[in-house]
């Protein structure tokens, strides 16, 4: 983890950068709707970044600019220095930044798991031996070896989401963007997908952007960005952002469970630190009160 990106003397390498990014789309009635307004932010190489905000905040629209699924109406988006507005860069940008969407069924293209994972590398025109190696690596990383010959549509929602991630992973991107990947999963499925995202970041060195509205997922990220009405309203280490209690409530967001409990205890006079996010920190803080 990057510990809030506060290391003195470390030069942070921007993998993705938006500069005064604005984007509008047409509603069903033909009216222009402003989805993003002069957004300036960055994704740093090697970090795991959470982007959160209520529905309609602009977080998904922002994420779709990271691999040129959308291109700016105003401003610029740079991926490893390449402008997404230049169509000549699109193929390379999409090899650098892979997307995994909320509904895994939209990304499953085969009735066999290993064939589905091979789909992306095959489209890259790689040699067969390289494709086989990449599929094996992706299945191993996602712990899907035992279901490689199964029909993905017969597996659980959590497993299907893991397969979608494996399919992107087999293309060896530098960054994976997960757009609400746990929204329709049960607690066990959410936990499995989150653990996979953390493993990709910590063990494989892949930059991860996690779009989520589950605050208990945000606490494991290096940084978080809060979106509202197409603008960035807060950014920083989760501990710092959650200390802005009034702003979080104004955005219609929740707090991690441990943070809520600590806040309730502080309101009753218990001197707990305001930076508590995890159960272990809460337990430690309560023990110190004794």
Domain assignment of residue 246, yes or no: yes
Domain assignment of residue 260, yes or no: no
pLDDT of residue 88: 97
Q: Which long-range contacts (CB under 8 A, 24 or more apart) does 249-254 make?
A: 251/53, 251/54, 251/57, 251/226, 252/54, 253/52, 253/53, 253/54, 253/213, 253/215, 253/226, 254/215
Same domain (yes/no): 160, 227:
yes
Domain carrying residue 287: 265-290
CATH code, 61? 3.40.50.300
Q: Walk along the chain (290 residues) and give the pLDDT tens digit of each residue.
A: 444 444 444 457 999 999 999 999 877 777 788 899 999 999 999 999 999 999 889 999 999 999 999 999 899 999 999 999 999 999 999 999 999 988 888 888 889 999 999 999 998 888 999 999 999 999 998 989 999 999 998 998 889 999 999 999 999 999 999 999 888 788 888 888 888 899 889 988 999 999 998 888 999 999 999 999 999 999 999 999 998 988 988 988 888 888 889 889 988 988 888 888 888 888 898 888 86
Same domain (yes/no): 279, 239:
no
Same domain (yes/no): 184, 287:
no
Same domain (yes/no): 66, 202:
yes
- Cα 25 to its chain centre, rounded Å, is 23
In angstroms, rounded to a whole number, what is the distance separating the alpha carbons of residues 88 and 148? 35
Strand order in the sheet with 74-79: 32-44, 14-26, 74-79, 82-83
Helices 157-169 and 128-141 pack at an angle, to 10 degrees, of 140
Same domain (yes/no): 248, 270:
no
Contacts of 87 (CB under 8 A, 6+ apart): none
Structural domains in the chain (count) = 2
Strand partners, 36: 23
Same domain (yes/no): 176, 270:
no
Q: Are 25 and 257 in contact (CB under 8 A)?
A: no
Same domain (yes/no): 129, 165:
yes
Same domain (yes/no): 224, 270:
no
In angstroms, rounded to a whole number, what is the distance separating the alpha carbons of residues 214 and 254? 8
pLDDT of residue 11: 54
Domain assignment of residue 281, yes or no: yes
Same domain (yes/no): 276, 232:
no
Between the alpha carbon of residue 20 and those of residues 16, 41, 76, the distances in Å are 13, 9, 7
- DSSP label of 104: G
Q: Which long-range contacts (CB under 8 A, 24 or more apart) does 145-154 make?
A: 147/113, 148/112, 148/113, 148/114, 149/112, 149/113, 149/114, 150/112, 150/113, 151/111, 151/112, 151/113, 152/108, 152/110, 152/111, 152/112, 152/113, 152/116, 153/105, 153/108, 153/111
Q: Are 90 and 84 in contact (CB under 8 A)?
A: yes
pLDDT of residue 8: 42
Contacts of 127 (CB under 8 A, 6+ apart): none
Write the DSSP assignment of 135-154 as a string of letters. Answer: HHHHHHHTT-GGGTTS-GGG
Same domain (yes/no): 276, 186:
no
Residue with tokens 């959410």: 190
Q: Length of the chain, please?
A: 290
């Amino acid at each position: 983890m990057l510990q809030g990106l506060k290391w003195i003397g470390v030069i942070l390498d921007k993998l993705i950068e938006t500069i005064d990014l604005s984007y509008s789309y047409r509603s069903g009635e033909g009216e222009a709707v402003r989805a993003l307004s002069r957004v300036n932010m960055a994704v740093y190489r090697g970090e795991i970044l959470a982007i959160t905000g209520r529905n309609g905040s602009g977080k998904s629209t922002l994420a779709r600019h990271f691999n040129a699924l959308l291109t700016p109406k105003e401003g610029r988006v740079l991926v490893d220095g390449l402008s997404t507005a230049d169509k000549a860069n699109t193929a390379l940008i999409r090899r650098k930044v892979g997307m995994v969407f909320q509904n895994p069924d939209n990304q499953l293209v085969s009735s066999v798991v290993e064939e589905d994972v091979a789909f992306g590398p095959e489209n890259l025109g790689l040699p067969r031996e390289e494709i086989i190696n990449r599929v094996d690596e992706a299945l191993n990383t996602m712990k899907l070896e035992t279901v490689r010959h199964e029909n993905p549509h017969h597996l659980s929602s959590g497993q299907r989401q893991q397969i979608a991630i494996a399919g992107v992973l087999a293309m060896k991107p530098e960054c994976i963007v997960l757009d609400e990947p746990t929204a329709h999963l049960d607690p066990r499925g959410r936990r499995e997908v989150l653990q996979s995202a953390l493993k990709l970041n910590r063990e494989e060195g892949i930059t991860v952007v996690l779009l989520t509205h589950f605050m208990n997922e945000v606490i494991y990220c290096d940084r978080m960005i809060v979106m509202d009405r197409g603008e960035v309203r807060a950014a920083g280490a989760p501990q710092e952002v959650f200390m802005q209690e009034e702003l979080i409530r104004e955005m219609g967001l929740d707090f991690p469970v441990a943070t809520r409990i600590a806040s309730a205890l502080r309101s009753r006079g218990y001197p707990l630190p305001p930076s508590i996010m995890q159960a272990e920190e809460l337990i430690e803080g309560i023990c110190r009160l004794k």
